[in-house]
Amino acid sequence: MNDEPSMNHVPTPPAFMLRFDPLSGVGPALSFPCDQAGRVNLDSLGERARCNYFYARAAIGRQFGMPAVQSGALG
């Protein structure tokens, strides 16, 4: 049996994404993988994504609207 990771492994896209849309309609939206309830596993995020997530949460009502859970397949 070979314990090495397969070179042909394609990561599975997340089933759900938590999306923060900009209030002004200008600028990028921020999206993060989450569960169906919108809970983000912070340990699974890289440092930059984690900082962006905290920023988006802190800027709700000023720069971003309330986040919405979307199907990850829509990506």
Q: What is the full DSSP assignment across 14-72?
A: PSEEEEE-BTTS-S--EEEEE-TT----GGGS-HHHHHHHHHHHHTBTTTB---EEEEG
Domain extents in the chain:
24-74
Q: How many CA atoms lie within 13 A of 64 on its CB side?
A: 20
Residue 3 has pLDDT above 90, yes or no: no
pLDDT tens, position by position, 53-75: 999 999 999 999 999 999 976 54
pLDDT tens, position by position, 16-51: 999 999 999 888 999 999 999 999 999 999 999 999
Burial of 29 (0-12, 13-18, 19+ CB in 10 A): middle
